[in-house]
Amino acid sequence: MKKKFNLLIVLFIFIFLIEIFDHSNIVIKTIINSTSIWFYNLVPTILPIYIIVDLLINYNAIYYLSLVFGPVMEKVFKMKKETSFVFLLSTLSGFPSNSKYLKNLLDNKVINKEEASKLLLFTHFSNPLFIIESIGISFLGNKSIGILILVIHYLTNVIIGIINRNYYVNLVSNNALKEKKKDSFVKTLSNSILNTIKILFLLYGIITFFMIITSLIKANFPFSNNINSLICGILEMTQGIYFISSTTLPLIMKASIITFFISFGGLSIHMQVFSILSDYKIKYKDYFIARLMHGLIASSLVFLILYFMK
């Protein structure tokens, strides 16, 4: 079975290589576009946040936050107090930042692989500014719908967390961070910067890879704009949102499909998350099912609310 799978991968790579040479102009434009998105949208938002979070973790912010918000995590999601750090920051910064925060906790032995797997199910938050400003105002031309999508997207995450609250319950706190000997501030800052740059380039490679695939699909298959938009959204969320907003579909359908895209995340986001967590071999199946549930529940709720608000 493994040999057959490896053979399929090799065939895919050869076909991919041929397509790159055959559609070199499209590929070059796509790479320029992905570089622009990465440099102007991803780097300015992720770079400072990741560095700051690394510093906060090294200086016991998890411990102090857990004193305030930890009891909520214990009662609602049956997670140990320290995980409130990941949940709170994920709501503010959006994916794939949640995987970076989880990796920090795993590296410092604050949580184990099972706890990380559970937390990963319901910390899949899109950046709130992206939803309100980009999706609501820019793509849909309606800020109120953007706010509705944001609320439903976040609420559905909480629902998924409650559904999975009995999966691997471990409320025993770990004092590994509190007891850890600290490096000098300069060394800690240097390590945080290097780790962040490494992850940023990893994300750049994955985003570019998936954007090339979506561009080649559009170039090779004469699907309708609606079908192409759906395929792109499942593979790479941002492109899918842009394409679906450009179609002639009714606003209610656009809003519902876009909600599915951000809640599912796209396979590009999935790969970014699991690339960051690759050292810990967390199972993908549960995460995929949770994202599918997230997408279907959230998009259905947005559709129903907009339908009855007519």
* d(C-alpha 21, C-alpha 33), whole Å: 18
Higher pLDDT, 302 or 186: 302
pLDDT of residue 146: 94
pLDDT of residue 175: 58
Higher pLDDT, 203 or 102: 102
Retrieve residue 246's tokens: 């450009």
Highest mean pLDDT among 21-30, 88-97, 170-179, 257-266: 257-266
Specify whether the backbone of 169 is left (phi greater than 0), alpha (psi in -120 to 50) or beta. Answer: beta
Q: What is the pLDDT of residues 260-305, one digit of tens each?
A: 999 999 999 999 899 989 889 898 999 999 999 999 999 999 999 9
pLDDT of residue 50: 78
pLDDT of residue 47: 82
Domain ranges of the chain: 29-308
Mean pLDDT value across the chain: 87
Higher pLDDT, 196 or 180: 196
Q: What is the pLDDT of residues 36-64, one digit of tens each?
A: 888 887 787 678 877 887 787 777 777 78
Upper half-sphere CA count for residue 167 (Cβ side, 13 Å): 17
Q: What is the pLDDT of residues 202-242, one digit of tens each?
A: 889 888 998 898 888 888 887 888 888 899 899 988 888 88
At 87, the pLDDT band (50, 70, 90 cuts) reads: very high
Instruction: Give the mean pLDDT of 245-251.
Output: 90
> What pTM was estimated for this model as a whole?
0.85
For 229, counting Cβ atoms within 10 Å of its Cβ (0-12 exposed, 13-18 middle, 19+ buried), the class is: buried
Q: Pick the closest to residue 152 from 289, 254, 288, 303 (CA basis).
A: 303
For 284, counting Cβ atoms within 10 Å of its Cβ (0-12 exposed, 13-18 middle, 19+ buried), the class is: middle
At 31, the pLDDT band (50, 70, 90 cuts) reads: very high
pLDDT of residue 110: 86
At 174, the pLDDT band (50, 70, 90 cuts) reads: low
Strands (DSSP E) found in the chain: none
